Amino acid sequence: MTWNLTEFFENESQASEFCMNLLAEAEGFEKEYKNNLFALSDEDFEEALRKYESISERASKAISWAHLSFAKDTRKGALQAKFEEFYTKIDEKLLFFMLEFNALPRQKQESFCEHCQEHRYFLERSIESKKYELSLAEERVLLRTANTGASAFSRLFDESMARIKFDFKGEKIGEEELLSKLSDKDRLVRKAAALSLSEGLKANSHLLSFIFNIIKTDLKNDCELRGYESAESPRHISNAVSKGSVDALIKACESNFELSHRYYAKKREILGYSELYDYDRYAPLGSDDGEFSFDEAKELVLAAFKDFSPQFATIAETGLNNGWCDAMPADFKMGGAFSHSASADTHPFVLLNFTNKRRDVYTLAHEFGHAIHQFLSYKAGYFGSHTPLTMAETASVFCEMLVFERIKNAASSNEEKRAILGAKIEDIFATLFRQINFTTFERAVHAEPDELSCDSISKLWMNESEKMFGDSLKLNDYYELWWSYIPHFIHTPFYCYAYSYAQLLVLAIFGLYKSGKCENFVEIYTQFLSLGGSKSPKEMVAMFGFDIESSEFWQIGINEVKKLVDEFESL
């Protein structure tokens, strides 16, 4: 099961021609509208805005093709770089448009916003960002140098991680295959995998530390130039959330780390170990080792989706049967998993590295949750479909919960149910508490004014990681390097709290769904996803009767986690 990227272009030559024609169109757009927005009527501005959106969408389609080509084969870095340069040149011709709009008198802006209701939220968000913008000339310089800055080191990280082969019992294996062994039922296999991962990371620690420091410094420079209050401020603005709400989220999670302590203490008791170590975190419980073929996983996910919404199942089945998914690990393939929205005239593209574990079933559900969300949001238009990260994870985590409920309810014994429940609690902890650890670690790293040594980064990592586990689980010394393979720190600084945000939001929404108190829940939820990013998170979550600005909101989701831990302890 693999992608057919000729849905974009037949070959590189056709893609290049497409970009050249689009660049010429962008140059024409610049000549027509630059220094002319104030003179436009409301109708003429709307026409210009739609042209701007169309060019932007088609440029995104070209870079999507290059990005997916690279994800499938990380030896194609030169191809990706070539089309990133095309994208930059096109974007440079469009750069004036929103800068000029943001500089208009407020009365003129309001007139345009009032007329362009479909794009009103997009335009208002742009106005809010004006205080962090530079001059057109300065923005052009930053745009043209972007591909040789942080994004170049992000590419270096991806290419390097894809090429690293870890020595595992005499075999040379890739990252994804090795990580899957951390959930093996044999403790010696798990321990050997942990040691192998650590040794491979240590051998590349200088490079990985250097890349992280470059990302840190690049973000610092950008924040200083633009006047952001802190390194995390750009992410909060992009996510349409306040630092205060993120602080409240972190506080709520850290105040409930005892749930993690309780769970791992019970797991240690069940396994009969005198002490749990880092390589025991994902040890399967009971006789169920959670092995699934891809066909079994596909059948299970589609059945769970269909029980919730036939429309969800239809979208996912269409994708699974028509080349939306590249499922299996391969040499030089990018690690991890994602769903890329691509363009409305194609479809979402899902990347997996399926290794037959139960977690891979949840990952399949998670990424096709993203794909469903992306597919539904196409109707909001290109600009309206861009969902803040905090909202982008809602469908993915919700779809995981649908599959979890189906797997748990099919359990034939308490032992099997406990194993399934335990694995899901561990996944929730990874999505919730671990991502908070990641966020507080990033805060600590980016708070340091100077470049950090590998040892210094590792100490900050251990300080934050130990908070989640307390005395319930021991982190070995080698664990100090495990920050260095986390891609989000490189690709998207301060991304990780969005997972925690979405996890608690989804648990609150899923609890409402299970309660049966919302009769038209499926209809509301489908509309919620279809909105993409065309409304504010506060307004969208209010569709379910929740207030995300309330200090009590996060506790609703935490209480759902507590119910799962209570159930686990009772079995």
**CA atoms within a 13 Å half-sphere pointing along the CA-CB vector of 147:** 17
pLDDT computed for residue 338 by the predictor: 96
H/E stretch holding 166 reads: strand 166-168
* pLDDT for residue 290: 66
The token pair at 373 is 């969300």
Sign of CA dihedral 374, 377, 379, 385: negative
Residue 433 confidence (pLDDT): 97
Concatenated DSSP letters of 101-124: HHTS-HHHHHHHHHH-GGGHHHHH
Question: How high is the pLDDT of residue 160?
Answer: 95
pLDDT one-digit tens code per residue, 427-481:
899 999 999 999 999 999 999 999 999 999 999 999 999 999 999 999 999 999 9
Parallel, antiparallel or unpaired: strands 338-340 and 171-173: unpaired
Can you list the residues of the chain whose pLDDT is less than 70? Answer: 287-290
If we measure between CA atoms, which residue out of 352, 337, 358 comes closest to residue 407? 358
Provide the b/e sequence for 278-315 (b: ≥16 CB within 10 Å): bbbbbbbbbebebebebeebbebbbebbbebbeebbeb
